[in-house]
Amino acid sequence: MLRAIALLIALGMSAHPAVVHAHPHSPLELITHEHPALGLIISIESDRIVYDVSLSNGFLNTLVPKERGFLKLRLEENTFIFEDPEQEAAERRILDEYFSQLPPLKINGVDCKPQFESFKFVRSSASANITESETLPPDARVRVVYRSSDEPRRVELVWIVFANEYSVDAFGDPIEPSLAARLDTRVRSRIITFTGDKPVIEWEAPQAQTDMRVEVASSGSNSAGRTIPIVSVIIVFAGLAGCWLAGRSKRPWRIRLIVLVIAAVTAFQVRNFGGYTLGSQPERATIEPFPKVASKVFEALLTNVYRAFDFRSESDIYDVLAQSVDGPLLDSVYKEIRAGLVSAEQGGAVAKVKSVEILESKLVDPEPKRDGAFEIKTRWRVEGMVYHWGHVHDTASIFEAIYTVAPRDGFWKIIKTDMTSASPEK
């Protein structure tokens, strides 16, 4: 049944992909504007999976092709309120009938059926693209839940309804049905994409979800092995041999004492000469030159800093940042990096980081300071994406800065920053 409905959707959407049909409560006219037909946010909670679905008015009318009458609504802030309780109940029954037919999810290997929970009509997300004199039909927000008897650990997420199914591009080639969705867990948030060929996406909880931390680059401190003082050992054995020979003299105890004292004093004085070291030598001396080590260390630190913003809560972000940034600098680095991820073109939304690429890096001084610290001048590119209901915008920015890095408690930490340039990529 859902596939048949999807065909009807496609026939309407492919011919006029930017046209939204008026809701029954509005005059029957066509309003043209850019407007995503469908959006999805999935939340994995302690005992359930929540699907929050956004539908444009035209898409909803095609999904639920029943005569619903003239809806009597009034706008309060951004939400429309039903003036007729019976009409609201009828609308609920219609939406419940459709969304309860969505496919079940597998949660911990058990099939869980969808349960329609709530709906509301909100101001259209396309309102900012038209003049105030024009009136747009509202968008619908529908919530569907999949309940589980225990905490979700392994989930097969499913979605089979697409706004662009059976559509073609300007050249007449088929467009693969797809929907970008945001997946929120208690720890992280990321973008996933359902397609007609891949309507199922598997998710598995990390082994230690609450303790997930970004790997920290080691400071590479010296780790010399055990040294055996060969010369001192030879002297001690020579002293013992002398004691044995002294047993043949007339006063053996006096000669033995003298030999032992001389051997002990001499062995102590030459303990640092003629030694043989077992195990590894200092890392800096045996692995690679310092400039190369410094570049690798900084690249790892910078990547770890951006990876911290994969986490959802501010406290988790700070915990991960603290592994690569010195304590007194945490607040300023948090604000600096977050500001660089805010997309002014996308209404101030914070982008999710896709990649961090070092374009140029050069040590200010080729030799480290006495405490091992170094300064590095660097230029890098950050690629991200911003999620809106049903679609994703790609972003890219270029940054330049001078960073100071130093060992702290056995690990490299960023201890100073001087951002010199930050701009969107042209």
Please state whether beta strands 275-278 and 226-229 pair in parallel, antiparallel, or not at all (unpaired).
antiparallel
Query: What is the CATH number for 360?
Result: 3.10.450
* Least confident residue range of 20-24, 264-268, 340-344: 20-24
98 SS3 class: helix
Instruction: Please report the beta strands in 159-287, taking only residues with DSSP state E, as ranges in sequence order.
Output: 178-184, 189-195, 200-204, 226-229, 275-278
Tell me the C-alpha to C-alpha distance, in Å, between residue 337 and each of 48, 177, 230, 351, 404.
33, 35, 55, 11, 16
Same domain, yes or no, for 246 and 386?
no
The top-scoring range by mean pLDDT among 152-166, 232-246, 322-336 is: 322-336
- Work out the angle at residue 313's Cα, subtended by the Cα atoms of residues 312 and 315, and round it to the nearest 5 degrees: 140
Same domain, yes or no, for 203 and 232?
no
Q: Which two tokens stand for residue 57?
A: 């008015």
Listed in sequence order, the residues at least 6 apart from 94 whose beta carbon sits closer than 8 Å to its beta carbon are 64, 66, 68
* pLDDT one-digit tens code per residue, 398-412: 999 999 999 988 889
* pLDDT one-digit tens code per residue, 83-120: 999 999 999 999 999 999 999 999 999 999 999 999 99
Domain residues for the domain of 414 are 288-424
> Can you tell me the distance from the alpha carbon of 394 to that of 190, in angstroms, rounded to the nearest whole number?
14
Same domain, yes or no, for 200 and 274?
no
Same domain, yes or no, for 28 and 94?
yes
Question: Are 351 and 384 in contact, with CB atoms under 8 Å apart?
Answer: yes
Tell me the C-alpha to C-alpha distance, in Å, between residue 413 and each of 68, 372, 392.
62, 11, 34
What is residue 251's predicted lDDT score, i.e. its pLDDT? Answer: 62
> Can you tell me the distance from the alpha carbon of 282 to that of 358, in angstroms, rounded to the nearest whole number?
28
Specify if 214 maps to a domain. Answer: no
Specify if 409 maps to a domain. Answer: yes
Same domain, yes or no, for 323 and 239?
no
* pLDDT one-digit tens code per residue, 286-317: 445 778 888 989 999 999 999 999 888 899 89
Closest among 412, 332, 344 to 372, alpha carbons compared? 412
Same domain, yes or no, for 271 and 296?
no
Total structural domains in the chain?
Answer: 3
Q: Write the single-letter amino acid at 161.
A: V
What is residue 382's predicted lDDT score, i.e. its pLDDT? Answer: 95
The verdict on pTM exceeding 0.75 is: no
Provide the CA 307 distance to its chain's centre, in angstroms. 6
> Can you tell me the distance from the alpha carbon of 389 to that of 29, in angstroms, rounded to the nearest whole number?
24
110 SS3 class: strand
Same domain, yes or no, for 308 and 359?
yes
15 compared with 344, residue with greater pLDDT: 344
328 compared with 289, residue with greater pLDDT: 328
Residues above pLDDT 70, as percent of the chain: 68
Q: Check whether 275 has a pLDDT greater than 90.
A: no
Closest among 423, 419, 420 to 345, alpha carbons compared? 423
Q: What share of the chain is helix, strand, coil (3-state, %, to 5)?
A: 30, 35, 35
> Can you tell me the distance from the alpha carbon of 397 to that of 412, in angstroms, rounded to the nearest whole number?
26
Same domain, yes or no, for 296 and 383?
yes
Specify if 220 maps to a domain. Answer: no
Beta bridge partners of 397: 382, 424
Give the confidence band of 247 by pLDDT, cuts at 50, 70, 90.
low
Closest among 135, 240, 191 to 391, alpha carbons compared? 191
Specify if 216 maps to a domain. Answer: no
Same domain, yes or no, for 146 and 251?
no
What is residue 21's predicted lDDT score, i.e. its pLDDT? Answer: 33
Q: Check whether 388 has a pLDDT greater than 90.
A: no
Same domain, yes or no, for 168 and 233?
no
Q: Check whether 188 has a pLDDT greater than 80.
A: yes
Same domain, yes or no, for 134 and 263?
no
Specify if 218 maps to a domain. Answer: no
6 compared with 16, residue with greater pLDDT: 6
Same domain, yes or no, for 205 and 296?
no
Q: Which two tokens stand for residue 254?
A: 């006096």
Q: Looking at 181, 209, 237, which one is the last position of a domain? A: 209
